Structure 1
Amino acid sequence: MDPFSILLDGARARGTFVLRTILNPPWSVQVRDRVPLNLVAVLRGTPWVVPGAGDAVRLDAGDIALMRGPDAFTFADDPRTPTQVVVQPGPRRTTAAGAELPEAADMGVRTWVNGERAHEDGADGSSVLLIGKYSGPGEIVARLLRVMPPLLVVPTAAHLESALVSLLAKETVRNEPGQDLVLERLLDLLLIGVLREWLTRPDADAPAWFRAGGDPVVGSVLRLIHGEPGRPWTVAALAREAGVSRATLARRFTDVVGMPPMTYLTGWRIDVAADLLVESDATIDTVARQVGYSSGFAFSAAFKRARGISPQRHRADARNRP
């Protein structure tokens, strides 16, 4: 797979939170749940999104917004509307003062409204939002999150994304066998489409690894590193696979990616290992071999140099995190 596909493969939704919300003005919902990534599709209305830092942005029906956590953000009918509902970790809904809100406002499968006055037909000027949350992307996906802006808006989504939004909206309010899995896969497809659209914009500040995917030499080396991190790679071995000299590969890779190939390989191995430590019960020695280290001791030393903690501590901290 290409580097973009491999990175996004780690962003698969698991235990997905998907919700349709119908909001009648005046309304203002502040999200403080600290999840790493929120996706919001506007089905109806022209709401505002107010990031934790930066200017408020008005959205139109068909727009899709991605908010990178853990910073708070607010959706409202008007930026001046006082906060009425706060989404806390869990997620729980409270008032701005912290009082728990009753669940009586829930109206149907995966649907929430801000009171009985909201209407399905939109005659009252209500907005309808489709919300998806990625609660725990791993270390590999963190590479992508680090280059994303805190707020990313794809206006009036393209045909594919529009079709996916429509399908996700229909499936969100269904309750059939396998429904959670259907929602997870649809949310994944929508996220991939939005990110691909953003990264291929002429004005996008795409990361070096994404731009490098189109380079005939560096792109092929990245695919080798990402696809087989456990192989005993050297600059000579990578250059031989790419059909260039060691000097050419070292110079070209550094110019395009911003670091030497072996530095990039080490960082990728550590990120892959960090995910394996959390997602599996494999021993340290097994993880070490999977990412190209000859022993658990060598791997532990490299991991501690890169992260400042041991692999065992990383695993324990991640699993004890709420």
Structure 2
Amino acid sequence: MLALSAERLMDAISKLIRMARPEGAVDVRCLLAGGHVLDNPPSRPRRVPFHLLLSGHCMAEVPGRTLELRPGDVLMLPRGCGHRLRVAADGPPSPFVRHVGSIATERSEDEPVIDLFCGHYTYQPGAGELLFGGLPAIVHASLGVGEGSPLHLLGELMRAEATLDGPGAGALLASLCEALLALALRGATTNPVPPWTAVTDPGLRAVVDVVASEPGKRWTISGLARVAGVSRATLVRHFSAATGMGVAEFLTRTRMTIAADLLTGTDRGLDDIAAAVGYRSASAFGKAFREATGSTPANLRRAAERR
């Protein structure tokens, strides 16, 4: 079996995240006391809301589920569904003052019981749609805030920038939000079905890595099963159970993500791009791309040129 390290898997995931070109932003930091209820309407297209809880407890009510959020939890909703957050605290909500600067902050008059960052990611058509469209509707990662947590330093940096509210704070927080995205995608193991980015099985990690690294190879499910060191049936069963996505769908989504990046970021011809992602002709590639994205390669390229 071809077993690859977690570091190599992260390289593959980082590659696909960079292609999606997500842009993160903090909308508001909530420092609240008392039992506040925070209603969040559905997001507009290509806007993914997220919440990072650094202290306190909340209950997140999303369609069909209620999730408990503890310090160090990240909640991301790739479909942008409307949702509600309830601050788990005794007593009525304490009045708060909203400060609007580089970073908006809502702070209660009483001692806050929660420290919550609410923000969003936006992405462009093409690679971004394919990446976020391949994630579960709910991504919930529990990373903790102790010294051994990757959020220990990141959370303190976010707090510091939001508190200082100085020149460049918005840009610095945007970069920290992008780091948070990578942490959430690889650590979302509290989901009933985690995203493919969080697979822990070495054989499945090897499949993810090799498809992202060699999209132009004529992959078959049997060939990928050999990479994983298991039978074809076992790979199909395990991959679907671990990610909620079929092997063939993952293969196509990864190839189309890479193709979309080439279409919008280079001037390479369709024949060249088709070959780079494993298709024998531009027509076969165009059909697969249209089925995966709802757009033709030419239309995506023209749209990117107008932006």
Q: TM-score range by the shorter chain?
A: 0.5 to 0.7
| Aligned twin of 1:133 | 120
AA at the equivalent of 1:186: L
Structure 1 residues without counterparts, runs of 5 or longer: 85-103
AA at the equivalent of 2:118: I
Q: Does 1:254 align with 2:236?
A: yes
Deviation for aligned residue 1:206: 3.5
SS at match of 1:16: strand
C-alpha distance after superposition, 1:44-65 (max 9, x if no partner): 544443324333x5545x2423
AA at the equivalent of 1:233: R
Structure 2 residues without counterparts, runs of 5 or longer: 1-7
Q: Report if aligned partners of 1:235, 1:261 keep a CA contact under 8 Å in 2.
A: no
Q: Does 1:28 align with 2:40?
A: no
Q: Does 1:64 align with 2:52?
A: no
Deviation for aligned residue 1:187: 2.1
Deviation for aligned residue 1:195: 3.9
Q: Report if aligned partners of 2:187, 2:198 keep a CA contact under 8 Å in 1.
A: no
SS at match of 2:23: coil
Q: Report if aligned partners of 1:46, 1:59 keep a CA contact under 8 Å in 2.
A: yes
Q: TM-score, normalised by structure 2?
A: 0.67
Q: Percent identity?
A: 22
Deviation for aligned residue 1:237: 11
| Aligned twin of 2:297 | 311
The 1:19–1:311 alpha-carbon spacing in structure 2 relative to 1, beyond 3 Å, is same
Aligned counterpart for 2:178 among listed residues 177, 188, 191:
188
- The 5-angstrom pairing of residues 73-222 of structure 1 reads 73-77=83-87, 105-113=98-106, 118-119=108-109, 122-123=110-111, 125=112, 127-136=114-123, 138-142=128-132, 144-146=134-136, 149=138, 152=140, 154=142, 156-159=144-147, 160=149, 161-174=151-164, 179-199=169-189, 204-206=192-194, 211=199, 213-215=201-203, 219-222=205-208
AA at the equivalent of 1:70: G
Aligned mates of 1:236, 1:107 — CA distance in 2: 53
| Aligned twin of 2:60 | 49
The 1:298–1:31 alpha-carbon spacing in structure 2 relative to 1, beyond 3 Å, is same
| Aligned twin of 2:4 | none
Aligned mates of 1:192, 1:264 — CA distance in 2: 19
Deviation for aligned residue 1:72: 0.8
AA at the equivalent of 1:292: G
Q: Report if aligned partners of 1:51, 1:72 keep a CA contact under 8 Å in 2.
A: yes
Aligned mates of 2:235, 2:35 — CA distance in 1: 53
SS at match of 2:188: helix
Deviation for aligned residue 1:6: 4.3
Q: In the comparison of the two structures, how many residue pairs are matched?
A: 284
The 1:276–1:173 alpha-carbon spacing in structure 2 relative to 1, beyond 3 Å, is farther
Deviation for aligned residue 1:221: 4.3
Deviation for aligned residue 1:30: 1.7
Q: Report if aligned partners of 2:103, 2:169 keep a CA contact under 8 Å in 1.
A: no
Deviation for aligned residue 1:135: 1.8
| Aligned twin of 1:233 | 218
Q: Report if aligned partners of 1:13, 1:185 keep a CA contact under 8 Å in 2.
A: no
Aligned mates of 2:72, 2:65 — CA distance in 1: 19
AA at the equivalent of 1:51: V
- The 5-angstrom pairing of residues 284-299 of structure 1 reads 284-299=270-285
Q: TM-score, normalised by structure 1?
A: 0.65
Q: Report if aligned partners of 2:102, 2:169 keep a CA contact under 8 Å in 1.
A: no
The 1:233–1:132 alpha-carbon spacing in structure 2 relative to 1, beyond 3 Å, is same
Deviation for aligned residue 1:170: 0.7
Aligned mates of 1:264, 1:176 — CA distance in 2: 43
Aligned mates of 2:21, 2:297 — CA distance in 1: 23
Aligned mates of 1:156, 1:168 — CA distance in 2: 15
| Aligned twin of 1:89 | none
What's the C-alpha RMSD, in Å, of the aligned pairs? 4.6
Q: Highest CA radius of gyration, 1 or 2?
A: 1
C-alpha distance after superposition, 1:88-116 (max 9, x if no partner): xxxxxxxxxxxxxxxx94344303327xx
The 1:277–1:176 alpha-carbon spacing in structure 2 relative to 1, beyond 3 Å, is farther
Q: Report if aligned partners of 2:23, 2:178 keep a CA contact under 8 Å in 1.
A: no
The 1:294–1:173 alpha-carbon spacing in structure 2 relative to 1, beyond 3 Å, is farther
| Aligned twin of 2:5 | none
| Aligned twin of 1:224 | 210
